[in-house]
Amino acid sequence: MKDQAGKLRDIVEKLNSKGGLNNSFDDSDISKDFIDKSKKNARVITITSGKGGVGKTNITINLAIKLSQLGLRVIIIDADLGLSNVDVALGIIPKYNLSDVINYRKGIYDVLEEGPNGVRFISGGSGLRDLIKITNEQLAHLLVELGKLDEEADIIFIDTGAGVSDQVLSFIYAAKEVIVVTTSEPTSITDAYALIKIISQKDKTKDVKLLLNRAENSREAANILDNLCDVCSRFLGLSVKKLGYVSNDVNIPKAVKMQQPFVISFEGSEASIDISLIAEALVDIKTNKHDKGYGIRLFVNKLKWFFS
C-alpha cells in the first residue's frame, strides 16, 4: 500500500506526462489514481444562481443543517471568489482557509470549521484565487488533502458566487449535480434560465435541479417551477428536476440579522418545514449513478480547465 507521499509523486508524474494543467485527461485516469472503489465517495453538489440576492448561501446553510438532522455528514465549501458569505451568515470567523492548504501551511482538517448541528465548512478565501496560478505539485497536494473529505462527508456543497462568470461556471461544470436557486422575480427567472442554457450547451447530461426561494404560496411555486422546467426541456433539451420551494417567510430575515440559521432559530416556521421537504427530496432523488460518483477529488481535477 503506497503512502501518501508516494501517491503524491505518482500524481505529479501523471500531470507532467499529460502536459501539465493545460491538458485534460480521462476520468478513468483519476479513478485509478485517486479512487478506492471499495469506499463510498462524497456526493458533490454545486449550489448556484443566475443573479445575486436570491438567498443562495442561506439556502445552502439551512439545507445542510436539515440534511445533518437526517443523519448525513455535510461539508460546505465557500467558493465565492468575491466575498465569503458562509462564515458571515453563521457569525463565525475562520482561522484558516483553502489558501493555507494549497501553500502547505495547514492540512485539510485544520481548515475545517465547526458549524451548527455538526455541519462543517471551509472558507475559500484567497485560496480560490491561488487556484489560478497553482502548480502541478500544489494541485497534486490539494487533491490528496481534499480527497480526505470523501471519508468525512456524505454530501459536499460547493456554494458559488452568483452569475455566469468563468469562475462560477468552472465550479458548475466540475460537479455532477447542480442546484440552481431562483426567486419569483422576472429578472431572477430570466437569469436562471440563461444560466441553465449555458449549462445545457456544455453538458446536456448534467443533473440540474431547480429550487425556488421566497415563494408567496404553493400555487405560485408550482407555476414557476413547472413552466421553467418545461421551457428548459422544450428549448434546451435538458431535463431539469423540480427540487422544491421555500416560502417567503418573515422569520428568514430575522434569522439572518441574528446570524443564525432559520431552521434552528425558527424551527417550526413555514420556511423550515419547506427546507425539510427539500432535504428529503434531495435524498430521495439520489440514484445508483450518484453512489458511483468520484467525489471531491475528481471535482477538483475537473477544475483544471479553468487554469488554462
Query: What pLDDT does residue 1 have?
Result: 47
Query: What pLDDT does residue 34 have?
Result: 47
Q: What is the CATH number of domain 44-306?
A: 3.40.50.300
Query: What pLDDT does residue 8 have?
Result: 56
Percent of the chain surpassing pLDDT 70: 78
Other beta carbons within 10 angstroms of residue 137's beta carbon come to 15
Q: Domain map of the chain by residue range? A: 44-306
Question: If pLDDT is split at 50, 70 and 90, which confidence band does 181 have?
Answer: very high
* Global confidence as pTM: 0.86
Residue 215 has pLDDT above 90, yes or no: yes
Report residue 154 as a C-alpha cell: 456524505
- For 180, the 3-state DSSP assignment is strand
Question: If pLDDT is split at 50, 70 and 90, which confidence band does 288 have?
Answer: very low
d(CA 46, CA 184): 21
What are the beta bridge partners of residue 48?
A: 180
d(CA 59, CA 279): 11
d(CA 94, CA 53): 23
139-159: average pLDDT: 90
More confident call, 130 vs 141: 141
d(CA 299, CA 268): 36
Cβ burial 233-268 (10 Å sphere, 16+ → b, else e): eeebebebbbbbbbbbbebbeebbeeebbbbebbee
Question: If pLDDT is split at 50, 70 and 90, which confidence band does 81 have?
Answer: low
Question: If pLDDT is split at 50, 70 and 90, which confidence band does 10 have?
Answer: low
Residue 192 CA, distance from chain mean position: 17
Residue 299 has pLDDT above 80, yes or no: yes
Question: How big is the chain by its Cα radius of gyration, in Å?
Answer: 19
d(CA 66, CA 62): 6
Residue 32 has pLDDT above 60, yes or no: no
d(CA 161, CA 48): 7
Comparing CA positions, the residue from 240, 278, 280, 266 lying closest to residue 60 is 278
Backbone angles phi, psi at 25, to 5 degrees: -135, 165
Residue 116 has pLDDT above 70, yes or no: yes
Other beta carbons within 10 angstroms of residue 71's beta carbon come to 8
Cβ atoms of 234 and 266 within 8 Å: the answer is no
Question: If pLDDT is split at 50, 70 and 90, which confidence band does 44 have?
Answer: very high
Place of cell 462524497: 42
Query: What pLDDT does residue 5 have?
Result: 53
Cβ atoms of 307 and 166 within 8 Å: the answer is no
Dump pLDDT digits (tens) for 228-249. 999 999 999 999 999 999 999 9
Residue 30 has pLDDT above 50, yes or no: no
